[in-house]
Amino acid sequence: MAIAGARVVTATTRAVVVERLISGVSAAEAFAAVSDVNRMRDWSPEGRGRSDTTGALRVGDSFVGTNRRGRRRWSTACTVSTVAPPVEFAFDVSWAGLPVARWAYAFEDVEGGVRVTETWTDDRSGPKGTFVKLAGLLASGVWDRSAHNAESMKATLDRLAVALSAGS
């Protein structure tokens, strides 16, 4: 029997929403895994997790998000904006003091498991946003961040599903 993978719900130039049903896992288990952002390296094709704090994150906590795409590596400043176990976890990303994006994760217990919804919202706008987009292109090699993130978010949630279903 084939298991359906993550699916893109919405993908625009400003936001991408991807969801995945994970069988046999509760919202609390999925929330605990995702809100430990050091574990993101286990699932994300790009995100390597945080590099500067330990323990559970709270609203207002900051961390350095580290990323890798091939040989390219870059870091961003991240600030936790929502911690509502087991329902939602979110953080805002900036670079050089300029807004980049918000990453949000929603968890909903459903029959047989949990629905995880990952949302990326592009906060780069205006002339400064254009500067941040150009810096992002140089750092990551990605210009169309929406299309790229849609694919990497599907991969992230599929890998999360495999890890949580296996009990890791």
Average pLDDT score over the chain: 91
Quick: pLDDT tens for 15-29.
999 999 999 999 999
Q: What is the pLDDT of residues 138-148, one digit of tens each?
A: 999 998 999 99
Q: Which residue has the higher pLDDT, 99 or 167?
A: 99
Comparing CA positions, the residue from 30, 6, 45 lying closest to residue 165 is: 30
Sketch the domain layout of the chain as residue ranges. 7-165
Question: Per-residue DSSP letters for 66-122?
Answer: EEEETTEEEEEEEEEEEEETTTEEEEEEEETTEEEEEEEEEEEEETTEEEEEEEEEE
Instruction: Name the architecture of domain 7-165.
Output: 2-Layer Sandwich (3.30)
Q: What is the pLDDT of residues 37-76, one digit of tens each?
A: 889 999 999 998 766 667 789 999 999 999 999 999 999 9
